[in-house]
């Protein structure tokens, strides 16, 4: 299949919408990461998402709609606290899990009795949803196991020849996926940390139960996607938790073993390190900036001659929780001082 690359204009949206209506899959920008969309009510179309990504069939997809009013079309009920969360955070980097009424394709929910819904806050995704007049099932538009795409080139690298087209809407803003919240319970439960922070959610709900750390991988997670390998760069990634001196010692040790070392670090730490190649992912004072650059950083070394990538760790407050959740999953090891 030849994958089309659309630059954003009206004609492109019409063409992309037509592909979706014909049961094809199309990648499009959202404010978090690029999504790989298909008609969420068409089983055959949704199967193509799983095929293109190489995604395990037991990992359900998020249904994207363009207005809160449409949520009711796919769910049994919206409990009052879930409604409050919807009012506060949607549209935005926030996904709510509710009891499914069975209108979304079986393959979307992977046979669960719940469905995940999100309203992307991005002009291109909004325009596409309106033009296509379809609910779009859309996971991140990467090959399964790879870092999520934050620009159209990333999507092209992973999915060229496997999908009908990509709408190029430039770099995404948030850079990490939406926060997934189970809204079926009396108290909401965060299943995946993301663009909306726990602190922001607690301002609406009051204090949430202290969740187990998202940096630990659970055996039977409620959000099925959390158990698979994720976000892995081509070279092994090791997290380094310690001072700049400790970090530099690890780099030197790998050099002694004849290995080439790539480093991902934020400033000011990055200014104190010497490695074979270094990607500066913003400033540690602005974790939003680190989040926006994180997946870019994980892909940066793919065509570079490095044997190992070392990355600093970040405090797990605010968006730092989502950053550390993704880094811990991407890493094959971690060293603390």
Q: Residue 115 binds what, of ligand TXA, Mg ion, none (CB under 5 to 8 Å, by partner type)?
A: ligand TXA
Q: Residue 119 binds what, of Mg ion, ligand TXA, none (CB under 5 to 8 Å, by partner type)?
A: none
Non-local (6+) Cβ contacts of 169 within 8 A are: 8, 28, 29, 122, 123, 124, 152
Going through the chain in order, the beta strands assigned E by DSSP cover: 4-7, 26-28, 35-39, 62-64, 94-99, 114-118, 136-137, 165-168, 179-182, 189-192, 237-241, 261-267, 277-283, 308-312, 333-336
Q: Residue 37 binds what, of Mg ion, ligand TXA, none (CB under 5 to 8 Å, by partner type)?
A: none
Among 178, 197, 313, 325, which residue sits at the site for ligand TXA (rule: CB under 6 A)? Answer: 178
Among 215, 223, 250, 270, which residue sits at the site for ligand TXA (rule: CB under 6 A)? Answer: 223
The residue among 147 and 225 lying less far from ligand TXA, judged by its C-beta, is 225
Residue in the block written with tokens 């992307």: 120
Q: Residue 13 binds what, of Mg ion, ligand TXA, none (CB under 5 to 8 Å, by partner type)?
A: none
Helical H runs in 143-264? 152-159, 198-205, 244-256
- Only one of the segments 127-135, 220-228, 270-278, 290-298 lies at the binding site for ligand TXA (rule: CB under 6 A); that segment is 220-228
Told to check if 328 binds Mg ion by CB under 5 A, we report no
The residue among 224 and 242 lying less far from ligand TXA, judged by its C-beta, is 224
The residue among 93 and 233 lying less far from ligand TXA, judged by its C-beta, is 93
Residue 91 preceded by cis peptide, ω within 30: yes
Q: Which structure tokens are listed for 40?
A: 């969420």
Applying the rule CB under 6 A, the residues between 45 and 104 that interact with ligand TXA are 59-62, 93, 95, 97
Of 329, 323, 334, 147, residue with least CA distance to 227? 329
Told to check if 325 binds Mg ion by CB under 5 A, we report no
Q: Which residue is nearest to ligand TXA (CB)?
A: 225
Q: How far is the CB of 108 from ligand TXA (least distance, A)?
A: 8
Told to check if 155 binds ligand TXA by CB under 6 A, we report no
CB atoms within 10 A of CB 218: 11
Among 32, 131, 313, 328, which residue sits at the site for ligand TXA (rule: CB under 6 A)? Answer: 32
Q: Which structure tokens are listed for 28?
A: 């499009």
Told to check if 150 binds ligand TXA by CB under 6 A, we report no
- Classify strands 26-28 and 114-118 as parallel, antiparallel or unpaired: unpaired
Q: Residue 264 binds what, of ligand TXA, Mg ion, none (CB under 5 to 8 Å, by partner type)?
A: none
- Only one of the segments 132-140, 162-170, 215-223, 329-337 lies at the binding site for Mg ion (rule: CB under 5 A); that segment is 132-140
Among 140, 150, 151, 328, which residue sits at the site for Mg ion (rule: CB under 5 A)? Answer: 140
Q: How far is the CB of 304 from ligand TXA (least distance, A)?
A: 26
- Classify strands 237-241 and 333-336 as parallel, antiparallel or unpaired: parallel
Told to check if 131 binds ligand TXA by CB under 6 A, we report no
In whole angstroms, what is the distance from residue 41 CA to residue 26 CA?
A: 15
Among 24, 158, 177, 312, which residue sits at the site for ligand TXA (rule: CB under 6 A)? Answer: 177
DSSP 106-153: HHHHTT-SEEEEE----HHHHHHHHHHTS-EE--BSS-TTSPPPSSHH
- Do the Cβ atoms of 244 and 223 come closer than 8 Å? no
Q: Which structure tokens are listed for 329?
A: 């999953």
| 290, HSE (Cβ side, Cα atoms, 13 Å) | 26
- Only one of the segments 28-36, 198-206, 247-255, 266-274 lies at the binding site for ligand TXA (rule: CB under 6 A); that segment is 28-36
For Mg ion, the binding residues (CB under 5 A) are: 140
Q: Which residues bind ligand TXA (CB under 6 A)?
A: 30, 32-33, 35, 59-62, 93, 95, 97, 109, 112, 114-116, 118, 120, 138-140, 177-178, 180, 191-192, 222-226
């Amino acid at each position: 299949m030849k994958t089309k690359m659309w630059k954003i204009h009206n004609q492109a949206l019409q063409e992309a919408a037509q592909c979706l209506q014909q049961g094809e899959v199309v990648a499009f920008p959202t404010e978090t990461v690029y999504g790989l969309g298909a008609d969420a009510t068409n089983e055959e179309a949704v199967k193509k998402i799983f095929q293109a990504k190489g995604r395990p069939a037991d990992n359900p997809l998020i249904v994207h709609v363009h207005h809160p009013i449409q949520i009711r079309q796919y769910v049994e009920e919206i409990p009052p606290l879930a409604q409050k969360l919807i009012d506060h955070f949607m549209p935005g980097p926030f996904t709510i899990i509710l009891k499914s009424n069975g209108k979304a394709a079986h393959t979307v929910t992977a046979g669960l009795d719940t469905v995940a819904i999100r309203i992307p806050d991005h002009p291109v995704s909004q325009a596409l949803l309106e033009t296509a007049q379809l609910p779009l099932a859309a996971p991140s538009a990467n090959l399964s196991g790879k870092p999520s795409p934050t620009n159209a080139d990333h999507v092209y690298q992973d999915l060229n020849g496997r999908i009908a087209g990509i709408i190029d809407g430039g770099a995404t803003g948030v850079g990490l996926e939406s926060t997934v919240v189970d809204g079926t319970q009396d108290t909401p439960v965060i299943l995946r940390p993301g663009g909306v922070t726990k602190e922001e959610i607690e301002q609406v709900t009051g204090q949430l139960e202290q969740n187990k750390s998202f940096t630990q991988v659970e055996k039977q997670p409620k959000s099925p996607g959390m158990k698979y390998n994720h976000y892995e760069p081509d070279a092994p990634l090791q997290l380094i938790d310690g001072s700049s001196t400790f970090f530099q010692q690890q780099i030197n040790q790998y050099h002694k073993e004849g290995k080439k070392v790539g480093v991902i670090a934020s400033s000011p730490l990055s200014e104190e390190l010497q490695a074979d190649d270094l990607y500066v992912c913003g400033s540690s004072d602005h974790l939003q900036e680190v989040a926006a650059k994180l997946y870019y950083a994980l892909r940066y070394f793919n065509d570079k001659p490095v044997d190992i990538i070392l990355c600093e760790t970040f405090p797990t407050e605010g968006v730092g929780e989502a950053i550390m959740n993704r880094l811990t999953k991407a890493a094959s090891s971690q060293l603390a001082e």
